Structure 1
Amino acid sequence: MARSRLIIFDCDGVLVDSEPLAARAYERVYDKHGMPGVNTGIIAQCIGMKQSDIIAKIRDLTGHQFPATADGDIWAETKVLFSQELKPTLGITAFLATLVGDRCVASSSSVERINHSLAVTGLARFFGDAIYSSSMVKNGKPAPDIFLFAADKMDANPADCIVIEDSPFGIQGAVAAGMTAIGYTGGGHTYAEHSARLTAAGADFVCADWHDVSRQLSGLGVPA
């Protein structure tokens, strides 16, 4: 009898094509606070991190210290853009509609942002309450904390979990958790070295679309 496999999805850049919008939101908010120069190139180095780690990384890269009292401005600006423009990644809705077995979301974003993203893209129905955020654990990606937490909550053995991630940080976290890692490069923020960087981070496979993910999952014994 085939063992049960838990599929753990990152949210941003995997389920929803959010990274270009999120980068625009950071740029706008930093500009509003008199800190220019936070562009998509800077934000690209932060993909996969939780917000507090992103703010620290931007500080390291630019010298801009974002005021802690204004943290809420980032989500407020992001929420506006998501409400107006956020779309699911191409093919994910059909993929989830045929996916058999347990699945959950494990994201660096806040619970509110994850739920909003899934609601406006129509994907919430595929996950129910199986939503886990880095805000629930001590360390964000690339630490394995969020993936181990999700596996525990879903009553799954880490060795039986398959993580789908778009960022090297996320892949590193999945590998550190002892899970199979699939890199995904089908989001709007993909770039020439994306696949190579996911492979270098430890991805077992890298897929450019959900048809390819389905093929890889089938090879791992997961009907998709």
Structure 2
Amino acid sequence: MARSKLIIFDCDGVLVDSEPLAAKAYERVYEKHGMSGVHGGIIAQCVGMKQSDIIVRIKELTGHQFPAAADGDIWTETKILFSEELKPTPGITTFLKALKGDRCVASSSSVERINHSLAVTGLAEFFGDAIYSSSMVKNGKPAPDIFLFAAEKMGADPADCVVIEDSPFGIQGAVAAGMMAIGYTGGGHTYPEHAARLAAAGASIICSDWQEVSLQLAEFGIPA
């Protein structure tokens, strides 16, 4: 008898279509603090990272050092935008209603942001307390820490886990954890090279919508 699989979902850009809004929040907050030039193209290079790593990366790319005392401003602005505009990715609600078996969220975002995102999009009911954040582990993506932590908490062998991710960093982390990685390109932040970059990072399959994900999982004997 085949062992059951644990489906591990990234949150931003996979469950919720948040990346364009998050990029807008970073632009606004950096501008507020007198640092121009932090545009969508810069933020796109940080997709999949936790906030502290994003701030470091932005400094590497632009020279702007965001003031540590103002870190909370980023979430404040993001929360406003999410509360007003955040939507689930197209088709995810139907997908989750049909999905059988264990599932959890493993995200680079803070627990507060994950919970808020799931609440405003109506997805919280599908995950309960199975929410894991990079704030709970030492190293963020592309390290495998968050995925291994989630598997341990869910009582699953890494070899029996399927990760659905939209960022190369997330895919790299899943592969490093010994898990099957599915690349998802159905978010509003997708771009022409997206699928190729996910494949280069190690994604076994690339899907552009949740119906395609469902069909691919069915081929592996996972009802969805």
What amino acid is aligned across from residue 88 of structure 2 in structure 1?
Answer: P
TM value normalised by structure 1:
1.00
Please say if 1:7 is aligned against 2:7.
Answer: yes
- CA distance, structure 1, for counterparts of residue 21 and residue 220 of structure 2: 33
The aligned counterpart of 2:220 is 220
The aligned counterpart of 2:26 is 26
- CA distance, structure 1, for counterparts of residue 16 and residue 200 of structure 2: 24
- CA distance, structure 1, for counterparts of residue 172 and residue 219 of structure 2: 22
- CA distance, structure 2, for counterparts of residue 220 and residue 24 of structure 1: 38
TM value normalised by structure 2:
1.00
The aligned counterpart of 1:194 is 194
The aligned counterpart of 1:151 is 151
The aligned counterpart of 2:141 is 141
SS at match of 1:216: helix
- CA distance, structure 1, for counterparts of residue 219 and residue 103 of structure 2: 17
The aligned counterpart of 1:101 is 101
SS at match of 1:104: strand
Compute the displacement of 1:221 (Å): 1.3
- CA distance, structure 1, for counterparts of residue 216 and residue 175 of structure 2: 17
SS at match of 2:191: coil
- CA distance, structure 1, for counterparts of residue 220 and residue 14 of structure 2: 19
What amino acid is aligned across from residue 94 of structure 2 in structure 1?
Answer: A
Same amino acid, percent of matched pairs: 82
SS at match of 1:183: strand
SS at match of 1:42: helix
Please say if 1:78 is aligned against 2:68.
Answer: no
Give CA deviations for 1:92-123 in whole Å, capped at 9, x if unaligned: 00000000000000000000000000000000
- CA distance, structure 2, for counterparts of residue 67 and residue 220 of structure 1: 47
Please say if 1:166 is aligned against 2:184.
Answer: no
Give CA deviations for 1:151-181 in whole Å, capped at 9, x if unaligned: 0000000000000000000000000000000
- CA distance, structure 1, for counterparts of residue 208 and residue 156 of structure 2: 27
Compute the displacement of 1:220 (Å): 1.2
What amino acid is aligned across from residue 146 of structure 1 in structure 2?
Answer: I
Compute the displacement of 1:70 (Å): 0.2
SS at match of 1:31: helix
- CA distance, structure 1, for counterparts of residue 117 and residue 103 of structure 2: 17
The aligned counterpart of 1:126 is 126
- CA distance, structure 2, for counterparts of residue 218 and residue 153 of structure 1: 25
Structure 2: gaps spanning 5 or more residues: none
Compute the displacement of 1:125 (Å): 0.1
Structure 1: gaps spanning 5 or more residues: none
What amino acid is aligned across from residue 142 of structure 2 in structure 1?
Answer: P
Please say if 1:45 is aligned against 2:60.
Answer: no
What amino acid is aligned across from residue 215 of structure 1 in structure 2?
Answer: L
- CA distance, structure 2, for counterparts of residue 107 and residue 4 of structure 1: 22
- CA distance, structure 1, for counterparts of residue 30 and residue 151 of structure 2: 36
- CA distance, structure 2, for counterparts of residue 143 and residue 192 of structure 1: 26
Compute the displacement of 1:219 (Å): 1.0
What amino acid is aligned across from residue 193 of structure 2 in structure 1?
Answer: E
Compute the displacement of 1:2 (Å): 2.0
